[in-house]
Structure 1
Amino acid sequence: MSTVTVLYIILALAVSAAIAFFYYRQKSTKNWYIFALCRFLSLFILAFILINPKVKHFKYTVAKPVLPVLIDNTTSISKIADSSEINNQITQLLNSQELQEKFDVRPYTFGTSLETGSVGSFKEKATDISNALTTIDGIYGNTIAPVVMFTDGNQTYGTDYAYAASKLNQPVYTVVLGDTTQYEDVRISKINVNNYSYYKNEFPVEVFVNYKGTQKRNTSFKITSGNNTIYQENIAFSPENSSKKITTYIKANQLGVIKYNASVSAILDEKNTDNNSTQFAVEVLDEQSKIAIVSDFIHPDLGALKKSIESNEQREVTIGKPADFVNSLNDYQLIILYQPSNSFQELFQQISNLSKNTFVVTGSRTDWDFLNNAQSDFYKRSTSIEDVQPVLNSGFSTFITNDVPFNQLPPLKSYLGNVTINGDYDVLLQQKVRNITLEDPLLITLENNKRRVGVLFGEDSWRWRAKTYLETDNFEEYDQLISKLVFYLASNKKKERLQVEAKNFYYGNVLIDAAYFNKNYELDANVELDIIIKNKETGFSETFNMQFKNAYFEFENNSLAPGSYSYTVTVKNENISNSGSFTLIPYSVEDQFYNADYKGLKDLSEATNGQVFLLNEQKLLLNELVSNESYKPIETSKETISSIISWKWLLFILAAVLAVEWFLRKYFGMV
C-alpha cells in the first residue's frame, strides 16, 4: 500500500469522526455517542470504498526442470532389439519416483516427426533424429534441462544429426538400442534409375554395393525380372575396397510398369540379409511427346523451359527459329511460341491451318501489333513494362496445381494493359503490381475451336525455376507445374470434373490427390470423396475417405502390402468416378541396418556435453540425472494486486450500519 493511500485513510478517519461528533454532540441527545459511532462507521466505510486501497501479494512457486524423453518409434528398433523389453525399461525410467521428484518428465516418440507418447509401437517407416532434436530445441531451448533419447542412431531421413547437435543448447543423454557389436555385412545402398523408358530402348541402371568388415570377401550381384536373370557380375571386397559401383544397361522389351530385383549374395556368417536385395521399377512407354520451342532470339527462359519439360522422360524438346518448323509442325504435339514477332507470320498461318495447340509466352520484345493480328485467341492493349508479381487464382479448375508458393517467386517483366480473351478460358495466375492485385491475367489456359492455348504474359520465368531450387534444393515444384501445363496443352482430352493425380508406382508410401469441380467448373470442397483400393493379386479391397487438405482431397497410406492395385475415386451422391492403377514396390530403408550406431550416438552426446548409455545401464543414467547439480528447480514469483477488503462485504456492512442507525433513531423518536 502506498504512502498516499495511507494518508487518505487517516484523513478519512479524521473527517468521518469529526462530522459524526459535531452532528450528534450538538443535539444533546441521550446516548448520542452510539448514534455518532454509527454515523462515523457509515461515513468512513463510504470513504474507504472510494479510496479503494490495494495491497501487493507475491506468490512463489518452484518449477521443476523439464526432461524431454525421446523414443525412436521406427521399425528398425523392433528388428535389432526386443521391443517389449525396450518399452519396459523406458516405462521404469519414466515412472521412477526419484526422476519425477526432480524433473517434469515429458515423453515423446518420433519417426519423421515428433509426437507425444510414452510407449513405442515401432511402426514408423523412417527415422529423422535431426528433426526430433531440432523440434525439442525449439520448444525447450531456453530452459536449463537435459534431453534423454532412446534410439539405435540409424538415421534414414533428413539432415545429419551431427549438424543438429552443433546447434543444441541442451545436453543429450543417448540410450543405445540394439546390438553395438559390428558384424560383417554386404548391402545394396543405392540404386539410380530413370522412372521411364521407351519400348525397345535401353535404359541405364546404377547400383552401389557396400561392404563392412575386416576380411576379403567374394560375392555375386545380379538383376532379375521374374524368373529371368537380366545381369550378373562377381564382386570382390576387402577393407581397403569396401564399395563398388555397378553400371549396366537394360533393354525395355515390355510395355507398362516392369519390376526388377537387384540382389547381392550373402557372405559367410552374415547376420543381416534383408539389405542384400532391393526392388525397383521402370515404366516402359510406347511413344514420346515432342514439343517445339520457337524463338528468333536467345533467352534464359528457353533453356529453363526445355529442362523443365524434359524432366519428364516422355517428352522431347526442340528449340529453333520459326523457319525451322514451318514444314514440320505435324511432328509436334505442342508449339511454344516465345515472344512472337513478324518472323512468325508463316508459322502462325500453318498453326491455324493445322489447328495445333500452342503456348504463347510474351515479354519485353513481343511485337503486340503483329501478335494481335496473327491470332484471334486473345487481344491485348499494351502500355508500359512493369515488374509483375504472380498471384494464384484459387478457383483455377483446368488441372490440379502444385503447392508452389507463387507469392514468394520473383516478378516477371510484362506489358501492362487490358486483355480480351475469346473462348472458354481459366486464369491460373493474376498480376500484382506494387501490392495491388490487378484483374488482368498473368497465366491462362483457354479452349477455342477445339484447340488448347496457354498464354504467359511475362518473361524471365527462368527465375522461378532458380528460386524453387534455392528454396527446396531441387526443381520439382516448378518442373511439375510446367509438366502439368504441357500435358494439358498437348492433349485434346475433354476436361473432367473429377480429376485424380496418381503415380504408376510407389515405393512404400502411396499418395493420391483428387479435385472435384461443380458443373460450372468451380472447385468444390463441400463434397465427400471415397477411394476404393483393390489388390489385383489377392482381390482384397478397402474403401477410404479422402481428406481435404490444401485445396485438394488426399489419400495417403504407408501400410499397404507390396503388389499391384487398382483404385476408383467416387463422389458421394454423384454418378461420377475416376479409376486407375498403380504398383507398390516393396522397400523399407529401416531394414538396411542390423546394428546400432554407437559411435554416432557417442559423438552426439559428447558434442552436447551429455553421455551415452546402453539399455541395461538405466541405473547409471538415473543416478547421473538425479545427482547432477546443474539441473535445479527454478523459483518464480507472481505479483498480484488486490483490494484489502471485498467491496461487496463493505457495502453489506455499510447497509447494516445505516440500518442500525435508522432503527435507533426511530426507537428514540428522532425520525
Structure 2
Amino acid sequence: MLELDNSSSIVQLNANEELKADYNSLINHPSIQENFEIQSYKFSHNLAPLDSITFTGSETNIYDAVVQPQKFFKDRNKAIVLLTDGNQTSGNNYSYASIDTKSAIYPIIYGDTTNYPDLKITQINVNRYSYLNNEFPVEIFTSYTGSDAITTQFKIKSGNTTLHQEQIRFSKENSSRIINLNLTSKKVGTQSLKATITPLSIEKNTSNNDRNFAVEVIDQQTKVLILSDVMHPDLAALKKAIASNQQRDVSIQNTGDNPDLNEYNMVIFYSPDNAFAKAYNQAKLLNKNTWTITGPSTDYDFLNSKVSSYSIEKDEEVDEVQPILNTSYTTFNLEDLAYEDYPPVQVPFGAVRMNTAPDILMYKSIGDVQTQQPLWFTYEDNNTRHAVLLAEGFWRWRAQSYLDQKDFKNWDDLVGSQVQYLASNKRRNRLELDYETFYYQNQKIIINAQYLDKNYEFEDNGIINMTLIHKGNSQRIVRPFILEGNSYTVDLSGLEAGDYRFTVKVENDQLNKSGALSILEFDVEKQFISAQDTGMKQLLGVDGVYYQGQIDRLVTQLLQNPLLKPVERASTSYASLIDWKYLLGIIMLLLGLEWFLRKYSGLI
C-alpha cells in the first residue's frame, strides 16, 4: 500500500514536488509493478483512496494511516509505505501504534529535519464570555526552540490598538513561558484579539508567532426577585440554584418591602396570597415575566382571580406526588434528567384547568399512577412568559441531586434553564438557530436549526438553506441544512477566515432568520518549521526510517523482505481409478448371475 500525506504542511515545508516525484517513481517502478499489487491512498484527517493530490488537508492523522491498513488487510502479507513529513496534528500518538506480524511499515520522511530557532504561541486559554467593562483573564503559552538566549516583544492587539505588551526572555534552559494577564471588555459583541510574538530575524516560519482569539461581551446580568411572606427551606434551595450562575443576581423580599419590580428581569411569587395583589398588578403593568410557586399559605381564590390562563380548584387537602419529566418539552433544552425517584412533594389536591395551551415540563405521579395533571408548566400570555410550579418541599430534590451525583448540578441546571427562559421576553419562534458567534478555522463548524410547524411541533420535511456573505470580499455561499434526528444541521467547516453575515430561509415556508458569525484564522498545519522523524524512529528504529531521495534503497528492502516474497502454493488430490461403489455393484451382479445359472443347470 502506498499512502500519501495530503496535508498542507507538506507545502509549508516545500516538499510537495519531491513527494509527488517519489510517488510517481514508486508506482511506475518495474520491480514494484512486477512483484506487488499496488493500492494507493491519501491521508489527512482520515484515510481515503487516492483520487487526486492537492496537499490541502487541514489535519494530519498518521496513527490511522499506520493502523487502518492492518485492519483492512489483516489476513494478507503487506508493505505499508508512508510518504509524510512526520508531523501529526490529530489522533493518537502513532509512535505507540502496534504492528502485526503480517505488516511491514516503510516511512519516507519529506522536508528538512534540521531544527531551526523558532518562537511559537502554542496555546491560549480564555473564557468565551465576559460582562461589559469587566476584566477577563487570559493565559498564553509560548515556547522557544534554540540554543542562544534571546529577548523578544509580546503584544496583544484589538485591531490597531495595543492592549498589552511586555518583553519576554528565553534561553535553552528556559524554553517556555506562561503569560497571565487580565483584559477589560469594552464593547458589546464579539471582541476579536490577536496575540503576537515578534519573530527572530533568522526564523524560517513566522506563521506560529501569532494566534487569534475572541471573547463575546455580554451587557447584562439577570436580576431575579423572589417575593415571599413565609420562611421555608424551598426559598434557600431556589436562591442557591439561581445564584450558582454568576451571571445572575437574586434577592428575597417580602410584600411589605414594596420592591420596585421594574429593577428586575423576572419575579418569582412564592406562596402568594392577598398581600401579593399590588405586586401582581405591577408585574402585569410592566409586562414582567413571572414564576408562581405554590406553598403552605397559598390563597387559591386570590390566585385564580389574578390569572386567566389557568385555574386551580380550591381544596384544603394536599397530595403527595412525585415528578414525571416530560421528554417532549420544547420550551428550552433538557439534558438527560430523571426525577422519577426523587422524594414526593406536596401539591394542591384540586385539579388544574388550563385556559391556554401550556408546555408541561413535569406531570404528577401519585403512587404508581402517572396522571396527565401538570406539576410544572410554562405558557405565554401576549408578550410575556410565565411558569407555574405546584409543589411545596422541592428543597428535597436539590438534596437528592447531591446524594445521587455528589453535586447539585442536576437541580441547579434545571432551575437555571427555567430562569434563563423567563429572564428574556423573546417569543418562541418556529425557526430557532443554535450557533456560536465565533469559531476557530481548524475546528468543525456545525450549526443546528429547529423548525416547527404552526402547531409548534417538529417539522421533518423542511427545505432549509443558509446563505452566507463574507463581509470582506462579498463572496456569497449557499449551504443546505441536513435533517439529523429531531434537528437540522449544516456543516460550515472549511470556510475561509473572516466575518460573515447570514440568512437561514425555509424554502417551503415564509420563515427566515438572520445573524452574524466570525471565523478566526488558525491553521495548525502552518505551525511546523521542519519535518519530524522522531516518532517514526521510536516506532520502527533508526534503520527503519527513509528520507526523500532514498527510493532505490527502499525498493531494495521491499524486494528482500522475506515477509513480502511471493509464495507459491500447490494442492494435490487423489482419486481412485475405479470407483469402489460401481465395482461393488458389478461384483454383486456377477455373483447373482452365477447363482441363477447354477440353479438353472441344477447344480444347486
SS state at 1:124 partner = coil
Q: Which residue of the other structure, out of 43, 46, 50, is the alignment partner of 1:110?
A: 43
Contact 2:321 2:365 in 1 (8 A): no
The change in CA–CA distance for 1:441 and 1:219 in structure 2 (over 3 A counts) is farther
The change in CA–CA distance for 1:210 and 1:379 in structure 2 (over 3 A counts) is farther
Q: Find the counterpart in structure 2 of residue 413 from structure 1.
A: 342
Q: Which residue of the other structure, out of 502, 509, 518, is the alignment partner of 1:583?
A: 518
Q: CA deviation at 1:93?
A: 3.1
Q: Find the counterpart in structure 2 of residue 296 from structure 1.
A: 233
SS state at 1:93 partner = helix
Q: Find the counterpart in structure 2 of residue 333 from structure 1.
A: 265
SS state at 1:78 partner = helix
1:71 aligns with 2:8: no
What code does the residue aligned with 2:248 have?
E
What code does the residue aligned with 2:428 have?
K
Q: Which residue of the other structure, out of 215, 232, 249, is the alignment partner of 2:148?
A: 215
Q: Find the counterpart in structure 2 of residue 247 from structure 1.
A: 180
Q: Find the counterpart in structure 2 of residue 453 from structure 1.
A: 387
Q: Which residue of the other structure, out of 429, 437, 441, is the alignment partner of 1:496?
A: 429
Mapped to 2, the partners of 1:104 and 1:325 lie a distance apart of 87
Alignment of 1:185-200 (within 5 A): 185-200=118-133
Mapped to 2, the partners of 1:133 and 1:300 lie a distance apart of 54
C-alpha RMSD over aligned residues: 5.0
- Deviation string 1:157-198 (CA, Å, 9 cap, x unpaired) is 3444445x2597866433323221111100111112222223
- Deviation string 1:134-179 (CA, Å, 9 cap, x unpaired) is 655654567665544333333333444445x259786643332322
- Tell me the TM-score normalised to structure 1 length: 0.66
Q: Find the counterpart in structure 1 of residue 535 from structure 2.
A: 600
- Deviation string 1:387-420 (CA, Å, 9 cap, x unpaired) is x7x7843xx5546x58x6x49x897526599995
Answer with 291-300 or 617-626: which moved more.
Answer: 291-300
Contact 2:273 2:303 in 1 (8 A): no
Q: CA deviation at 1:225?
A: 1.9
Contact 1:444 1:456 in 2 (8 A): no
Q: Find the counterpart in structure 2 of residue 563 from structure 1.
A: 498
Q: CA deviation at 1:347?
A: 11
The change in CA–CA distance for 1:118 and 1:328 in structure 2 (over 3 A counts) is same
Answer with 577-586 or 416-425: which moved more.
Answer: 416-425
What code does the residue aligned with 1:495 have?
R
- Deviation string 1:557-614 (CA, Å, 9 cap, x unpaired) is 23433322211111214332111112222221221112122112322335xx993222
1:316 aligns with 2:248: yes
What code does the residue aligned with 1:548 have?
L
What code does the residue aligned with 1:205 have?
V
Mapped to 2, the partners of 1:91 and 1:293 lie a distance apart of 75
SS state at 2:342 partner = strand
Contact 2:155 2:196 in 1 (8 A): yes
Contact 2:223 2:265 in 1 (8 A): yes
Q: Find the counterpart in structure 2 of residue 227 from structure 1.
A: 160
The change in CA–CA distance for 1:445 and 1:412 in structure 2 (over 3 A counts) is farther
Mapped to 2, the partners of 1:370 and 1:116 lie a distance apart of 70
> Runs of 5+ in structure 1 lacking a partner?
1-66, 470-474, 639-671
Q: CA deviation at 1:382?
A: 5.6
The change in CA–CA distance for 1:369 and 1:243 in structure 2 (over 3 A counts) is same
Q: Find the counterpart in structure 2 of residue 270 from structure 1.
A: 203
Q: Which residue of the other structure, out of 136, 141, 155, is the alignment partner of 1:203?
A: 136
Answer with 503-512 or 318-327: which moved more.
Answer: 318-327
Mapped to 2, the partners of 1:287 and 1:328 lie a distance apart of 18
What code does the residue aligned with 1:539 have?
S
What code does the residue aligned with 1:516 have?
Y
Q: Which residue of the other structure, out of 514, 518, 524, is the alignment partner of 2:459?
A: 524
Alignment of 1:346-495 (within 5 A): 352=280, 354=283, 357=289, 392-393=327-328, 397-398=330-331, 401=333, 406=336, 413=342, 415=344, 422=354, 423-426=356-359, 445-447=378-380, 450-453=384-387, 459=397, 486-495=419-428
Higher relative contact order structure (alpha carbons within 8 Å, sequence separation ≥ 6): 1
1:538 aligns with 2:473: yes
The total of aligned residue pairs comes to: 541
Mapped to 2, the partners of 1:443 and 1:142 lie a distance apart of 60
Contact 1:272 1:593 in 2 (8 A): yes
More helix by share: 1
Mapped to 2, the partners of 1:228 and 1:603 lie a distance apart of 47
Q: CA deviation at 1:501?
A: 2.4
What code does the residue aligned with 2:139 have?
E
Answer with 224-233 or 622-631: which moved more.
Answer: 622-631
Q: Find the counterpart in structure 1 of residue 62 from structure 2.
A: 129
The change in CA–CA distance for 1:100 and 1:487 in structure 2 (over 3 A counts) is farther
Q: Find the counterpart in structure 1 of residue 194 from structure 2.
A: 261
- Deviation string 1:467-507 (CA, Å, 9 cap, x unpaired) is 9x9xxxxx9x9999987665433212221112122322222
The change in CA–CA distance for 1:255 and 1:248 in structure 2 (over 3 A counts) is same
Mapped to 2, the partners of 1:300 and 1:134 lie a distance apart of 52
- Deviation string 1:203-261 (CA, Å, 9 cap, x unpaired) is 22221111011111111111122222221111111010111111222223333322222
The change in CA–CA distance for 1:161 and 1:483 in structure 2 (over 3 A counts) is farther
What code does the residue aligned with 1:219 have?
T
What code does the residue aligned with 1:565 have?
Y
Contact 1:87 1:119 in 2 (8 A): no
Contact 2:124 2:138 in 1 (8 A): yes
The change in CA–CA distance for 1:631 and 1:486 in structure 2 (over 3 A counts) is farther
